[in-house]
Amino acid sequence: MATALRVAVQRLNPKHREDIARHLLQLPENDRRLRFGHQVRDQAVREYVDGVDFERDRVFGILGDDLSLIGVAHLALDPVEKLAELGVSVDPSSRVKGYGYALLHRSVLHAANLGYRTMFMVCLAENGIMMHLAKKAGLTVVTEAGEADARLKLDRLAHGGVFEEAIADQFALVDTMLKQQYLWLAQPKAAEKNLVGEMPAGERRKGALAGIG
Ligand X SMILES: CC(C)(COP(=O)(O)OP(=O)(O)OC[C@H]1O[C@@H](n2cnc3c(N)ncnc32)[C@H](O)[C@@H]1OP(=O)(O)O)[C@@H](O)C(=O)NCCC(=O)NCCS
Nearest to 36 by CA among 70, 86, 77: 86
Site membership for ligand X, residue 207 (CB under 6 A):
no
3-state secondary structure of 49: helix
Q: Of 40, 52, 75, 88, which one interacts with ligand X (CB under 6 A)? A: 88
To ligand X, the closest distance from the beta carbon of 144 in angstroms equals 16
Query: Whole-angstrom Cα distance, residue 202 to residue 19?
Result: 9
**Chain-centroid distance, C-alpha 200:** 19
Site membership for ligand X, residue 213 (CB under 6 A):
no
Q: Of 128, 188, 197, 202, which one interacts with ligand X (CB under 6 A)? A: 128
By DSSP bridging, strand 58-63 and strand 69-78 are antiparallel
Nearest to 201 by CA among 17, 29, 10, 5: 17
Nearest to 99 by CA among 72, 128, 132: 72
Site membership for ligand X, residue 61 (CB under 6 A):
no
**Binding piece for ligand X, criterion CB under 6 A, among 44-52, 122-130, 152-160, 171-179:** 122-130
Site membership for ligand X, residue 9 (CB under 6 A):
no
**Binding piece for ligand X, criterion CB under 6 A, among 9-17, 90-98, 189-197, 200-208:** 90-98
To ligand X, the closest distance from the beta carbon of 153 in angstroms equals 19
Q: Of 123, 154, 168, 199, which one interacts with ligand X (CB under 6 A)? A: 123
Cβ-based neighbours of 15, under 8 Å, separated by 6 or more:
none
Site membership for ligand X, residue 101 (CB under 6 A):
yes
Instruction: Mark residues 132-161: x for contact with ligand X by CB under 6 A, - for none.
Output: xx--x-------------------------
- Stretch 29-58 residues interacting with ligand X (CB under 6 A): 31, 34-35
H helices then E strands: how many in the chain? Answer: 9, 7
